[in-house]
Amino acid sequence: VQSELKTVLKKIDGLISSNKADEAKELIQMVMSKLDKAVSKGVIHKKKASRKKSRLAKKLIKLKAA
């Protein structure tokens, strides 16, 4: 669970930094799901997952506006 989460987070950060909003938008749902799964398995704290979700959503909105 932890390695899958890290991989997906790196992937979406790469898409956001390379200004690929459409691909990032498709991947964001999977990232949110992986974060929730990591919380349920006890891999990360629920507040850390919430913080990650919030920051990713904010980055994606900023990317779409640009």
Q: What is the pTM of this model?
A: 0.89
CA distance 1 to 22: 25
Question: Which pLDDT value is given to residue 64?
Answer: 87
Cβ burial 14-40 (10 Å sphere, 16+ → b, else e): ebbeeeebeebeebbeebbebbeebbe
The CATH architecture of the domain made up of 2-65 is Up-down Bundle (1.20)
Sequence spans of domains, the chain: 2-65
pLDDT digits (tens, 9 = 90+) for 2-55: 999 999 999 999 999 999 999 999 999 999 999 999 999 999 999 999 999 999
Nearest to 52 by CA among 22, 19, 43: 43
